[in-house]
Amino acid sequence: MVIKSLLLSLIFFLAGLIPVFSQEKPGEKPGDIVAGSKKVETCLGCHGIDNYKTNFPELYRVPKIFGQNVGYLMASLKDYQSGQRKNPVMVATAKSLSDQDIKDIAAYFSSFTVEPQKSLKSIENKRAQDIIAKGNCMVCHGDDFSQNQDLSIPKLAGQYADYMFASLKSYKNNDNIYWGRGNAVMAGVVKDFNLNELRLVAHYISQKAGTLQTLQHSRFRSK
Ligand code: HEC
Ligand code: HEC
């Protein structure tokens, strides 16, 4: 009995550790997947519908966020909160979230890990590969655009092409009050490429096998 309860407390202890993020300060609560699952109902109205489109500032699909890296989910939500990212819907959404909500929600969406899907079709494309080489994309985004050492860098493989094109353009545009992103790293990357090149590379990466998904419903799971 004693051993059993020791084991049980060990399991609970470890389960509590799973969602812990790297930069936890003492006294702060780590992100909690189950708590997160109860805070995402509104998100699913857009992020839970396959191919759901937004029409601002142009028509493109709402990004896949199930399976995205935890640190990146938190960083992007904080950037919408601070105005570093300027999409009006996401700014309003992020401003309604507390720091704890952001941690829980990021823990929830990042917990959906699946095997990479197959690449959609043959994706040999010399021009896209040249752009990737010139932009050193794989140094940060990983060889397969799906695994990063640094969880604050987004997974890209299998993300919607039109969304990635819009996001790449937005790193070029930070002077509009409703639209644009201020991230200095990606601003430095995209300035070397024209829009045709960015469209091409977004399309190419979207066809790679990845683990990002759009799921219809929150599948309440406890880990
Ligand atoms: C009305 C539709 C809508 C709702 C509701 C919504 N989003 Fe979004 N979300 C978007 C759009 C559109 C974008 C892309 C914005 C951009 O271009 O920067 C986005 C972007 C994001 C991103 C950045 C993804 C990336 O790859 O950079 C995250 C994270 C995110 N949303 C999380 C959430 C969360 C969490 C909720 C609920 C609390 C939510 N969203 C609710 C439409 C929505
Ligand atoms: C020095 C590291 C670095 C390099 C090189 C780099 N990226 Fe990024 N990339 C990042 C980081 C960090 C972010 C997150 C920025 C943010 O928070 O908005 C990002 C974001 C993105 C996004 C937005 C994803 C989303 O979900 O909104 C796309 C698309 C992207 N990068 C494509 C590329 C491509 C294509 C290249 C090469 C041409 C490239 N990146 C090179 C670090 C890098």
Q: Per-residue pLDDT tens for 113-143?
A: 887 666 655 567 899 999 999 999 999 999 9
Q: What is the DSSP letter of 151?
A: T
Nearest ligand to residue 48 Cα: 1
Find the radius of gyration of the CA atoms of the chain. 19
10 has pLDDT over 50: no
Could you please report the per-residue DSSP string of 38-104? TS-HHHHHHHTSTT-EE-SSS-EEPPP-BT--HHHHHHHHHHHHHTSB--HHHHHHHHT--HHHHHH
Question: Whose C-alpha lies nearest to ligand 2, atom 39?
Answer: 137
Residue 9 pLDDT more than 50?
no
Contact 110/124 with Cβ under 8 angstroms?
no
Nearest CA to ligand 1 atom 29: 73
- CATH class, 31-206 region: mainly alpha
pLDDT (average), residues 178-204: 96
> Residue whose CA is closest, atom 31 of ligand 2?
186
pLDDT at 183 over 50: yes
> Is the CB of 47 inside a 6 Å radius of any atom of ligand 1?
yes
Per-residue pLDDT reduced to its tens digit, 47-105: 999 999 998 888 999 999 999 999 999 999 999 999 999 999 999 999 999 999 999 99
Single pTM value for the model: 0.89
pLDDT at residue number 118: 65
Mutate to test the pocket of ligand 2, among 189, 206, 212 (most ligand atoms within 8 A of CB): 189
More confident residue, 128 or 18: 128
Cβ of residue 105 lying under 6 Å from some atom of ligand 1:
yes
How many CA atoms lie less than 13 Å away from 65 in the CB half-sphere?
26
Which protein residue's CA is at the shortest distance from atom 8 of ligand 1?
Answer: 90
Kindly indicate the confidence band of residue 25, based on its pLDDT and cuts at 50, 70 and 90.
low
Q: Beta partners for 85?
A: 181
Q: How far is the CA of 83 from the centre of ligand 2 (A)?
A: 18
Rounded average pLDDT over 152-180: 94
Listed residue (36, 122, 121) closest to 74, CA to CA: 36
104, 26 Cβ separation under 8 angstroms? no
Residue with the smallest CA separation from ligand 1 atom 18 is: 87
Q: To which residue do tokens 């493989």 refer?
A: 157
Q: Are strands 60-61 and 53-54 parallel, antiparallel or unpaired?
A: antiparallel
Using the mean position of ligand 1's atoms as its centre, give its distance from the Cα of residue 36 in Å. 15
Choice between 114 and 208, residue whose per-residue pLDDT is larger:
208
